[in-house]
Structure 1
Amino acid sequence: MAGLSGSCWESIRSTDEADLPIPHDDEEQRLLLRALQNVRPPAPVSERFLHVQDEYLGAELAQCAITDADDVPPAETLQTGATLAIWQGDITTLRCDAIVNAANSGLTGCYAPNHRCIDNAIHTAAGVQLRLACERIMEQQGHPEPVGRAKITPGFNLPARYVLHTVGPMIPSGDPTPAEQEQLADCYRSCLRLATDHSLETVAFCAISTGEFRFPAELAARIAVRTVREFLAHRPAHQEPTQPHEQPHDQPQTQTSTTSTADTSTDTSAESTTNTRPAITIRKVIFDVFSDRDRQIYKRVFADHA
């Protein structure tokens, strides 16, 4: 793909009032744009900028091999008919109802330029609208996102319709306690409940907490697979209580900072209300892995259960 157009850089300059030298090399331009996205605070943005950004991100996505969730072969079929799958690849190129982002407690993404974490990758591919949406949620909430909870936003420029944001436990010692292991399981349960609340059918999980948060990869995989199996196998005789929520709306092609953050603040606390939880609609859960090592871990976890 050719480098970014002059109008794109002019839009970036006029939006952020920056006077940056623009590299001539295509890859260096991509890295610069990503770095600018990463450090940009969730401030209002013009319609012109969003139009140019969305065109660019759409062109970048068109150069990628998009994988449809239904094309990922199942690794296991549960008695309920739901399937579990392992997929190795870039989660930002997966077309499904929702992908899961391993967020931090601020929820608005990674601000380190070109950092290689999943939070950074998802926010970069989705566009600045995602940070704006998350900021609105945090403003309404008024406190950092607790470990084990989840929020939902549109996917904006991602192939996925929605993003489920969850904060996993941080394990500096690399040796999680039983309570911290349960917190990780809570992340998976919260995302699955939220997906069910919004009648989603296909969900792709990243390996929550196993990167910068240092949760041991094999233990995390076992917790992930066990928790998802238990959730999808559970068919209660009565509906479970849940919090009231707003249904997030599918976003149009281009949105301003006002409309891009509307109706996305959905929580998953254990507090009971008069509402009831709907029937489980999830028919496929994909465990996305990036490395060959992680793929082998998940294969081993599935084989041990067979």
Structure 2
Amino acid sequence: MPCSAESQRSCCPRNVQEACVRALELLATDIPALEEPIRRCREQGGEASRRLLGDFLIQFSGSLSEGQLQAIDEVYAAEALSRPPPLSLDALEGLWLAAAPCKILVWRGDITQLAADVVVNAANEEGLGCFQPTHRCIDNVLHRGAGPRLRRECRNCMERRPGKLMPGTMPLLTKAYHLPAKAMLHVTGPQISPGSRPSSLSHEQLRLAYANCLDAARDAGLRSVAFCCISTGLFGYPAREAAECALTAVHRWLQVPENLASMSTIVFDVFTEHDEQIYHDLGPQIFHSSSRPI
């Protein structure tokens, strides 16, 4: 929940505020338009400078110098001092669909707190993140949590890639930077027009989004994967059909012995209570449910 105006200062520690102002002032040497917003942030105090920095980094499409990136790293380092420890996957409370040899969990919570080997980002075709600060999409959430070095790596990856990050194609594998995960997979699922039903092509593209991410994680030696709900939300894929496709795709992938041996934990991280109920309904029909991992 956002802080009230009265409690902003206690919500944003002084060391974070000071690091934010230093980073913003360094950015303003190249971007004079930041000078007035920075002045207003000083007057407001509290979380104002952190909001300004976060929103600027989401919408900024240019390149940052190493010095500017280091100053922003200091903001994240200051925040880490007061942040709760990352969440171990084995300690999560949710619906365990399988216990061994690969644990399968449906969990509702903040994917940016998970200490998974790799978290999956539902990206757009450009693969550079969301540039609209007001969007509450997972692409925006993960880029905010990881910091601007993530976008720089994504840009470098996309420049080497032969084409866009299209539905059904292999994901990008990057570092996760300031997230507790080791790495991030950026994959694009199909987009459905509002009110439409998924076609057989859309279904296959969504299945491949999950299977290709697991292939990429296996090949990179990453043994725990946390999935978001790919293609739902702004991409319009109906929640129940998306959940059934996701669960079935992962279950089918694990039927290959080499795949099963390569994974320790797979988490379906759902965003809403509605999605959680759908996964609770469908999950036991596809997997054999288990109360806790072994």
TM-score interval, normalised by the smaller of the two chains: 0.7 to 0.9
Q: Are the aligned partners of 1:221 and 1:298 in contact in 2 as well (CA < 8 Å)?
A: yes
Could you tell me which residue of structure 2 aligns to residue 239 of structure 1? Answer: none
Q: TM-score, normalised by structure 1?
A: 0.80
Alignment length (residue pairs): 263
| 1:152 shift after superposition | 0.2
* AA matched with 1:113: P
Aligned to 2:181: 160
TM-score (norm. length: structure 2): 0.83
Q: Do the aligned partners of residues 53 and 91 (structure 1) sit closer, same or farther apart at CA in structure 2, a change above 3 Å counting?
A: same
1:61–1:93: 8 Å Cα contact kept in structure 2?
no
Q: Which runs of 5+ in 2 are unaligned?
A: 1-11, 289-294
1:101-131 deviations in Å (ceiling 9; x for gaps):
0000000000012321100111111111111
The correspondence for 1:294, drawn from 268, 272, 275, is 275
User: Aligned equivalents of 2:143 and 2:273: distance in 1?
Assistant: 24
Query: Structure 1: which 5+ runs fail to align?
Result: 237-277
Counterpart residue number, 1:20: 36
Residue type at the aligned position of 2:243? A
**1:54 match:** 73
Hey, what does 1:111 align to over in structure 2? 131
Q: CA deviation at 1:58?
A: 2.9
Q: Point out 4+ residue stretches in structure 1 off by more than 6 angstroms.
A: none
1:170–1:213 Cα contact (<8 Å) kept:
yes
**Structure 1 residues 72, 165: CA separation in 2 closer, same or farther (over 3 Å shift)?**
same
Residue 92 of structure 1: CA displacement? 1.0
The answer (yes or no) to whether the contact 2:120–2:187 under 8 Å persists in 1 is: yes
Contact persistence 2:254–2:260 (CA under 8 A): no
By how many angstroms is 1:279 displaced? 8.0
Whole-Å separation in 2 of the counterparts to 1:53 and 1:144? 29
CA distance in 1, matches of 2:207, 2:80: 32
Deviations 1:184-212 (A, max 9, x none): 00000010000000111110000000011
1:2 and 2:16 correspond: no
Give matches, 1:57-206, under 5 Å. Answer: 57-65=76-84, 66-73=86-93, 75-77=96-98, 81-149=101-169, 150-173=171-194, 174-206=196-228
Q: Deviations over 1:206-225 (max 9, x none)?
A: 00000110101111111111
Overall identity of the aligned pairs, in %: 33
Counterparts of 1:235 and 1:35 in 2: how far apart (Å)? 45
Look up the SS of the partner of 1:285 in the other structure: strand
For 1:283, the equivalent position in structure 2 comes to: 264
Give the CA deviation at 1:2.
2.4
Residue 63 to residue 88, structure 1, CA distance change in 2 (3 Å): farther
Of 184-193 and 166-175, deviating more is 166-175
Question: Displacement of 1:158 after TM fit?
Answer: 0.9
Identify, as 1 or 2, the structure richer in helix: 2
Query: Which residue number corresponds to residue 252 of structure 1?
Result: none
